[in-house]
Every structure is written in C-alpha cells, then in structure tokens.
Structure 1
Amino acid sequence: MEIRQLEAFAAVMSAGSVTAAGRLLGRSQPAVTRSIQELEAEIGYPLFQRFGPRVAPTREASQLYQDVERTLASLRQVKARAEQIARQAPPPVTLAATSALAVGLVPRALALLDRSHPLESVHLRSAAPEQVVDAVLNGTVDIGVSSLPLEHRGVLVHWIGESACVAAVHADDPLAQAPRIALSDFANRRLVTMQNPYRLRPRLDSAFAQAGVRTAGVIETNSSLNALGAVRAGLGLAVLEPVTALGLPVEGVVIRPLDMRIAFLFGAITPEFRPPSAATLAAVQALAQAAAEVLPDFILHDASQHSAILQALYDAPDDILNPTEEHTT
C-alpha cells in the first residue's frame, strides 16, 4: 500500500470522479485509475461503483476513508514538521474541539497565547465530543476541548469549566425585551435544540419536562451556530450552550439568561501518556482565561472534582449545578 494510492483514493472520494481527482492531484486520469485499481487489488474489495465518468463509493470505501484521511493528514504534518525542524521553528499547537468550543472559545484563547508565545503554526479541527477524545487518546492532537463527561482512561483533565445555558431569540421577538426568559415562555413555540443524546440534550429535555412545558415542534441540530441561524431566520427559540452564543454573537439574535440554571460543563484534556510541553500548558491556561472573559458567570472547577460534578449533575435532581433560583458566586 503506497501513499500515491491512498492519495488517489482520498481525492476520488472528495471530488466524486476520477477526472476531477486527477485535476486535484495534478495527475492524469489513467494514473489515478491505475492507483485505485492497484489499491483495490491489494485490499481485496472494490472501493467504487462506476457510473460512466462518475463514481460512487462502496460501503467499504466509506468505512476506510476516515482512516485514510487521518493517515494522510498525519503525513502532511510530518512533512511540515520536518521543514520546521530544518528552520529550528517551534512545533505547532494542535487542538481538537467540539464545534461550539472551536468557534466560541479556541480563537480567543489562541489570541491570548499568541501574546506570550508567538504562534507560527496551529492545527485546529472541530469534531464531535467522542472524536475529540479519540484524537487525544491516539495522540493526533496535543489538546482537546470538549463537553463533559471526560472520564476516558488515557486522558488527563486539566480543568473543568461551568457556565449556564442561555436562550436565543430573534431580535424582533417580544421576548427579546425581557431581562431573562422563563422555560414557560417556550410553551407552544418551536424549540431549536441540540441532538447529542449523551451530553447536554437529556438535561434540556428533563428541564422542560419538570417545568411541564410542551413546545410546538422541535428543530434538532448538532451545531449551536446552526441553532443561531435558525433563530435568526425566525424558525423558533433556542436553548443552547453559552460559549457560541456569547463568544460569537450573531446579528439579529438576542441572547438572554434563563430563569433556571442548566449547567454547561466542558474541559481541557491532554494525552495522559505524554507529558504536556510548556507551550501546551500555556495553551490550556489560555483556554481557561478565554472562558472567563467570554462567560460572565464562568466557574473554574479543579479537575479532581470531575466525578463528583457528574454524580451531582445526573443523580441529584436538585443539585447545586441546577438550582431554580439565580446562581451567584
């Protein structure tokens, strides 16, 4: 299995045709076809179904693609690092973060870091929480930033951040004039909410159920930016994590606190098997500092409290992380 074969496979997957893949790679169409055929012969199954000039990936190709793309990305990083070493440049800062944290928190943290540790190279990718943890576990990135839980063996949690979820309403909505929004205000309104069934979403559903609120339909999304876009388009009201809402304001959308605290919890992690460098530790600290700047009610918890926080969050219905009265610190 050769790199040129993997590059040809990835290019065809991306472009949708062998001809377009050849243009992307600067190779002839026959050369790309030959590389694909050689790869298929080596692995023992077809990767594409042919429909004239276009192709469709097989189920096996779709399963293989993510690993191939990750391998090629690693090779590109090795090449770039080799060039940096030749210039005696510092290693890049590599991060993986959930989309909310990648948009609303990480850029501000990198700006803070750049003041004390000038950045030459940064690799940042957004991913689902499970993929963020996986990237840290396999050493693909130096730092992961994700929502809780983060109890995976092999990751080192540096700190845990807490902030209250917020409501997002269209600027022309009468609710935009209220200082805070009650869950009862969502009654008979369309709700825009998060999809992930293992993190924030169950607690949002539980809060509405406890309040006895029935909404008039739901729009589900895996991105807070998508939720804000839906609110701006007048499609409904949203309850979402505060990092995107406050870290990346959207014109035409007003953010208001809720009348009850629904905690959003997130943290910074690094590989447990690899001691973090000084630059990595500085980036972890910059992330906490940026969170404190973005989130007016930000609470920084010690990483040792992880298990206790989760137990209180999921086992106790009236725990201190979800009181009915306004939270104060």
Structure 2
Amino acid sequence: MVSMEIRDLEAFLAVMSTGSITGAARLLDRSQSQVTRLIQDLETTLGFALFERNGPKIAPTEKGIAFHDDAERFVSGIGHLRDRAKAIAGREPEPIEIAATPAFASGIIPLALAQLPEDCLPRTINLRSMPAEAAVQSVLARTADFCVTSLPADQPGLEVQGFFEGPCVAALAPHDPLAARDVVSLADLAGRTLVTMANPFRLRHRVDQALEAAKVRPDRVIATNAAMNAVQIASTGLGVAIIEPATAYGMQAPSVAIRPLDVDIPFLWAIFSAGARPLSTGAHELIQRIMQIATERMPRLTVHDARRIARIADAAFARPNHPDTAPENEGRITEVPENEN
C-alpha cells in the first residue's frame, strides 16, 4: 500500500499553485531544497514523475496533472477533519463543507448563507464550485457534507435531500427586440446566434432536442462551459442564451433580460448528502434555506418526490445526443465540460 506524507502532498500542491519551487518555498515558509526533497520523496512513493525539469524551469507531467485533483481533495479533506475536531473540542457549530456546480455556488447558495442564523454559523464554511460529477464524488468521499448539482448523478451511496425541476429560460440583452416580449419563442431563434452549454450529455442535449422538435436552426451556436459565461455573452447582444433557472434567477444580473420560453426545456437538480451520515444542524438548516430561496426565486419550480428521482431522471436523459449527431448549423465552440453546470 502506498503511504504518503501530508507535507509531501502540500509541497506538490504548492508547486502546482505557484508554478515554481521558489514560489512554493515562499508559500510554505521552507527552503527550496526542502521543497525539492519533499517532491522527490512523493515521486519515489508514487513511482512516477510529477514534474519535468529543464534547468530552473519546472512543468507538471501528464501524470502530475491527473494526480492533482485527487491530492487537492485529500488535503482539503484532512483540513476539514482538523476543523471538525476543533469544533467538537470547543463545542462550536461544526464546519460546513459544500460542493456545488457554478450555477448554484455563485447565486442561490450565497443568498442562503446570508440567511443562516448566527447560532448555526460555524467559524469555517467551505463553498467549492466544481463540475457536477466532482460535486457528487466529494460527497461520496466525505470531503463535502452535501452537494447541490444538476442531474444526472449516480445514486448509490447518496441520500436525496431535495429533488427539483424548473424550466430553462432565455437570457438576452435589454436592447434586443425579443426583450420587449413576455415570452420568447424558439422560432424567434431561427437565423440568430444561440449561446448554450457545451456538454452534450447534460443540459445541452435537451436544448438540441427542443430545437430539433421545433425545426429551428440558429445561424450560429456558441457553446460554453458555464451558464454565467452564456449570460455575459448574451448581455453584449451577440446572441440569445438558453440557460437554467438557477443562474437566471439566482444572480439576477441587471445587464440582461430574462424571459420564459414557449417550450418546456426542463432543468433537473438535486441536493445530495452521504447515506448513513447525519448532517450537522448548520448543514441541515442551510439546505432548508437553499430550498426556500429556490422556491421563492425560480418561477414554476417543481418539488419532486425524492423517491422518484431515478425514474424521472432516466426519462429526461433517455436520448442523449452524441457529439457526432449535433445540429449541422453548430458553429464555433468553446468546450470545457469539466465545469459544466
């Protein structure tokens, strides 16, 4: 079994963050030779090189890059464990660790945190924005108390705290002629630039299905990895974005107009915790506030029975589009699916 020292992992993460041994040494308050030795010890333990060295320059190897996320989660988990131990010893509210997709981490969750009663607020709250898949894994790995994420998501080992569905909306510049309408029709997007998500296995495939059913072909498609990017692009007037309601109503950016669509493009999301792991009072209260704010801010939000999550999600994702079958009119794409909402 591989045995790794925490200080070795911390040295590795410091070098990855700063891009140099010198920077890592300053960050860790160690000498450069000490940091070099820690990295070498870790490489010996792992059995592969983490960095390529060319004189004073250092760059991560492919294996080093692949190892980085797991190392970061592990070290973060150790820090979280230390915080919990301190809270238990001092009889303070336990730290809250939240993993969420960008759509929720940037909007609804901060609003919910602001409403937490003082006696539920611990000294440490960690809110990490990450891809949906990583958020679920954080809960399963016990480095997060709960996650707020879009579906689909693996169910084994997860306890559903809440399961919701809301319709997607259009985001467009206030001066766009369509902003004068109460409802934007998909037919109005024909010949326009459409801004949408990049990942073909999540929200994107439902948008493509709706366009296909309506026989609508945009002139150009700009695909991005986060809804906030789509909102920013739409605010310039370059195109019309189809986004999920969490970003649309959680952020409420004044530079864009949000309008309902004439067709239902469902956005499914849920709050998960680890099965058989009790939530702290603060975490439980925060989940209740998230659900309350989502209900207040998202029009036509449906609260589903958690027991039906597998059936409803399977039905919604029954026909995912393969990248090879994307619409012929698809144009320039910026795809970074690891941060997809």
Would the TM-score normalized by the shorter structure come out above 0.5?
yes
2:45 paired residue number: 42
**TM-superposed deviation, 1:314:** 4.4
* Identity within the alignment, %: 44
Question: Which digits, 9 at most, give the CA deviation of each residue in 1:43-74, with x for residues without a partner?
Answer: 22222111232211111111211121112112
Structure 2 CA distance for aligned equivalents of residues 86 and 278 of structure 1: 17
Deviations 1:114-136 (A, max 9, x none): 36734433111111111111111
Q: Which residue of 2 aligns with 1:184?
A: 187
User: What residue in structure 2 maps to residue 163 of structure 1?
Assistant: 166
Once residues 200 and 124 of structure 2 are traced to their aligned partners in structure 1, the CA distance between those partners, rounded to angstroms, is 35
Change (3 A) 1:13 1:174: same
Q: Deviations over 1:157-215 (max 9, x none)?
A: 12211211000111121111111111011111111101222221111000001111111
Rounded to whole Å, the distance in 2 between the matches of 1:203 and 1:105 is 23
Residues in 2 aligned to 1:273 and 1:81: alpha-carbon distance in whole angstroms? 18
Q: Is the 8 A contact 1:143 1:268 kept in 2?
A: yes
> 2:62: which partner in 1?
59
Unaligned stretches of 5+ in structure 2?
320-341
Secondary structure at the counterpart of residue 41 of structure 2: helix
173-182 or 301-310: bigger deviation: 301-310
Instruction: Determine whether 1:196 maps to 2:227.
Output: no
Cα offset, 1:155, TM superposition: 0.4
The 1-side partners of 2:89 and 2:118 are apart by 25
CA distance in 2, matches of 1:162, 1:32: 49
Q: Is the 2:7–2:38 Cα contact (8 Å) retained in structure 1?
A: yes
CA RMSD of aligned residues (A): 1.9
The runs of at least 4 aligned residues of structure 1 exceeding 6 Å deviation read none
Query: 1:110: which partner in 2?
Result: 113
CA distance in 1, matches of 2:152, 2:11: 38
SS of residue paired to 1:131: helix
Whole-Å Cα distance in 2 between the matches of residues 115 and 154 of structure 1?
A: 31
Name 2:230's counterpart in structure 1: 227
Q: Of 242, 246, 251, which aligns to 1:243?
A: 246
CA contact (8 A) 1:112 1:290 kept: no
Structure 2 residue corresponding to 1:23, chosen from 8, 22, 26: 26
- The alignment partner of 1:88 has SS state of coil
Aligned residue in 2 for 1:267: 270
Distance 1:150 1:7 in 2: 31
What TM-score does the superposition give when structure 2 sets the normalisation length? 0.87
Q: Normalising by the residue count of structure 1, what TM-score does the alignment of the two structures yield?
A: 0.90
List alignment gaps of at least 5 residues for structure 1: 317-329
Flag the 1:310–1:75 CA change in 2: closer, same or farther, 3 A: closer
Which of these residues, 141, 146, 155, is aligned with residue 143 of structure 1?
146
Aligned length: 316
Which moved further from structure 2: 300-309 or 163-172?
300-309
